[in-house]
Amino acid sequence: MNKVATLATALVVLTAGCGGNGRTGGSGKGGGGAAPKPPASCLDVSGQSMVEIVSAHNDYTPECMVVSPNQRIRVDNTDLVRHSFTVSQDDIYHTPFLVDIDEIEGGKKATTDAVGGFLQANDPNPFFCKYHAGMEGELWLVS
């Protein structure tokens, strides 16, 4: 077997088991297998009309929530610096944006429309701050 064929075979073997983000066991998009489920640590707030995420010290609290379609999310920025609240379809490349509250100044609050209008049901919906690396979380929409 020549070197190119050997390399191609090795790449196929190495990439066959790849996928997912480590938090949910896979994206569940287009692949077969069981649908992904929220992590056990994810806070279920699906019965409330409005839920709140606090951004403080370059972190979101809570970092993971299970929500229902008619809920709205209020982001309370208790920091002195601005943050964004951006929900994306993809957790690796953070694209496309499903919702983007671009600037929430320190000490201010911002509220989304009902989440059923922009979240994907039964899949992780990653959210993050565009200004601070590592400031991220996940929303799960129950249908």
Separation between Cα atoms, residue 54 and residue 43, nearest integer Å: 14
Q: What is the pLDDT of residues 87-109, one digit of tens each?
A: 988 777 677 888 899 899 999 99
Residue with structure tokens 């009309």? 49
pLDDT in tens, 53-86: 999 999 999 999 999 999 999 999 999 999 999 9
User: Is residue 8 within a helix (H) or strand (E), and if so which, with residue range?
Assistant: helix 3-15
Which regions of the chain does DSSP assign to beta strands (E)? 43-44, 50-56, 59-61, 64-67, 72-77, 83-88, 97-104, 109-111, 124-128, 136-141
Q: Which domains does the chain have, with CATH numbers?
A: 21-28+36-141 (2.60.40.420)
Report, as an integer, the average pLDDT of 5-21.
37
- pLDDT digits over 25-54, tens only? 344 444 556 778 999 999 999 989 999 999
Which tokens sit at 66?
A: 């299970």
